[in-house]
Amino acid sequence: MSARSLTAFRILLLGGASVALHLGISVLQQRIAFGPLSLWPVLLFVVATLAVFALYAKVLGLAAHRLLTRAEKRQALVFPVIIGAALILRPVATSIDLYSYLGHGYQALAGMNPYTQPVKEIADSDIGRALMNRGWLPVHGVSPYGPLWTAIEVGIVKTTDNLRLQATAVKTIAFAFSLLSAWLIWMILGLVAPRSQLTGTLVYLWNPVIVMEFAGEGHNESLIVAAGLAALWLTVRAKPAASAFTLLAGALTKITGLVALPPLLVYAWRTATDRPRLVVRLTVAGACAGAIGALLFAPWWVGPATLDGLLEHGRPNILPSTLGVLFLYLIQSHSPEASAKLLSLVAGAAMTAVTIVASMRATDIKGLFRACAIMSVAYLLLAPVYWPWYVALPTAMLALTPSNTSMTIVFAFSVASRLASPLDRLRLNGLTGWPEIVVAITIVGLWLPAVVLLAVAFTRHGSAWMTVLRNTSRGRATPTLERGSLWRRVR
């Protein structure tokens, strides 16, 4: 067998094994979520998850180090689509968000306002009981989402009254936007880094978090990722006003999409040849996005109280996240109000500092991509709440600069995300309480990968860092530092 045929065979083998593993993981998640409490499904889930990431790494290695034909590229690109299409037909397991989306739609049709009346209030209705029969829990409050997503929720519920078809519709939309994101990565890299085009696309498309959380669980985060990538694509094509409009429009689904706005604006300003004209165009783009938001919000607007869900979602609380664990610790000796204010101040200051430093890197298009990646990872670590699907945005941004460092970050947070995904279901099965699971999800999903990344960074650059520290403490610089090569190596 020739080397070329062997490569094609490997892609088919890896793709087939990945399909089987993803479907097996879906079955195991169902067993963990709704079956009797048992250790063996958890152990099998961990083994299968590590195996699917090993296949993911192997595929990326083939893409990065081998010259694939067009047919082989198609094979590498088609398998995630097959997996996603199969998972769309599977019921959700690790999250109840999809059913809350449908609950918002039913609220609207019943004359309720999802921005002022908690979705958990429908628990005693026929639809609430039907949702609970499928695994929904009436725990969510008022909607934290934008009016664009609410319009989608209402549209789905209006289209059919079949719950299974409604759930399939949500998952189909989420997966379609995920495929759009992969296409945008392909297009962006085709313009700025053709040699990394296939690798960067597969970094996103083959990522088990992307496949499982969008096609498998139907999270609306996929719309945010697509909006961010579309904005970057428009930026690459020298259309800053359209880019800003796209990002603002994406925020009408979920406001976290604005995390990439500062570096985008800085890049547009630095590269503009006619800055007064740029300001006018950006102002018009912002006004248009605001007008669309006002029109979409009009049926639900009751004043500032309409944004209570969004504001509540942004406050530190006993939720999985670094801030959530710190909040849990602080309220043991301080009031919840004082603890929340302190943590909000610290996190806000840290995020502002990261924004300034990252935006300063946006001097060229690759610097912009790195700045957006830094911002998305910082937000993941500093946000008031963490859920496994929040890894999707950093994954997409890092896919635009597929270096060894980027891939290490993607793997660390993605593996941790998948391992953390069923933990809350273990709590629901009576294994532990909410405070304990908040700490567990935060440790597994955020702190463990952060420690791994620090260890990797020290292994790679520790000697250089120690040299800098020793010579700094002695008040002198080494010849290596003076030449600048050490600084480049540390960066």
477 has a pLDDT exceeding 70? no
Predicted local distance difference test score (pLDDT) of residue 361: 87
Predicted local distance difference test score (pLDDT) of residue 52: 97
257 has a pLDDT exceeding 90? no
474 has a pLDDT exceeding 70? no
Predicted local distance difference test score (pLDDT) of residue 57: 94
pTM, two decimal places = 0.91
Predicted local distance difference test score (pLDDT) of residue 487: 31
Q: Distance (Å, rounded) from C-alpha 156 to C-alpha 158?
A: 5
* Mean pLDDT taken over the chain: 89
Q: Among all chains, which residue has been given the structure tokens 């005693």?
A: 124
Instruction: Give how far Cα 210 sits from Cα of 25, 170, 222, 327, 401, Å.
Output: 14, 15, 9, 30, 18
Instruction: Give how far Cα 419 sits from Cα of 44, 63, 217, 378, 389, Å.
Output: 11, 26, 15, 21, 12
Closest among 83, 113, 309, 300 to 210, alpha carbons compared: 83
Q: What is the pLDDT of residues 168-189, one digit of tens each?
A: 999 999 999 999 999 999 999 9
How confident is residue 72, by pLDDT bands cut at 50, 70 and 90? confident
All residues at 6 or more sequence positions from 140 whose CB lies less than 8 Å from its CB, including other chains: 96, 100, 103, 118, 119, 120
Q: Distance (Å, rounded) from C-alpha 55 to C-alpha 274?
A: 48
482 has a pLDDT exceeding 70? no
Beta-carbon count within 10 A of 291 CB: 10
Higher pLDDT, 5 or 194: 194
Predicted local distance difference test score (pLDDT) of residue 490: 31
How confident is residue 488, by pLDDT bands cut at 50, 70 and 90? very low
Q: What is the pLDDT of residues 207-232, one digit of tens each?
A: 999 999 999 999 999 999 999 999 99
Q: What is the pLDDT of residues 151-168, one digit of tens each?
A: 999 999 999 999 999 999
Q: What is the mean pLDDT of residues 115-139?
A: 92
Work out the angle at residue 409's Cα, subtended by the Cα atoms of residues 32 and 359, and round it to the nearest 5 degrees: 125
37 has a pLDDT exceeding 90? no
Q: Which amino acid is at 34?
A: F
Predicted local distance difference test score (pLDDT) of residue 481: 38
Q: What is the mean pLDDT of residues 386-404?
A: 95
How confident is residue 6, by pLDDT bands cut at 50, 70 and 90? low
Three-state secondary structure call for residue 364: coil
Based on the number of CB atoms within 10 Å of its own CB, is 459 exposed (0-12), middle (13-18) or buried (19 or more)? Answer: exposed
Predicted local distance difference test score (pLDDT) of residue 476: 55
Q: What is the mean pLDDT of residues 69-74?
A: 77
Predicted local distance difference test score (pLDDT) of residue 174: 97
292 has a pLDDT exceeding 60? yes
How confident is residue 333, by pLDDT bands cut at 50, 70 and 90? very high
Q: What is the mean pLDDT of residues 117-146?
A: 92
All residues at 6 or more sequence positions from 168 whose CB lies less than 8 Å from its CB, including other chains: 88, 89
CB-based burial, 332-349: b 16+ in 10 Å, e otherwise:
eeeeeeebbeebbeebee
Closest among 236, 240, 211 to 56, alpha carbons compared: 211
Kind plus residue range of the DSSP H or E element containing 191: helix 163-192
How confident is residue 82, by pLDDT bands cut at 50, 70 and 90? very high
Answer yes or no: are the C-beta atoms of 392 and 376 closer than 8 Å.
no
Q: What is the mean pLDDT of residues 353-366?
A: 93
- What whole-number percentage of the chain has pLDDT above 70? 92
Q: What is the mean pLDDT of residues 349-375?
A: 94
How confident is residue 478, by pLDDT bands cut at 50, 70 and 90? very low
Higher pLDDT, 133 or 428: 133
Q: What is the mean pLDDT of residues 129-146?
A: 92
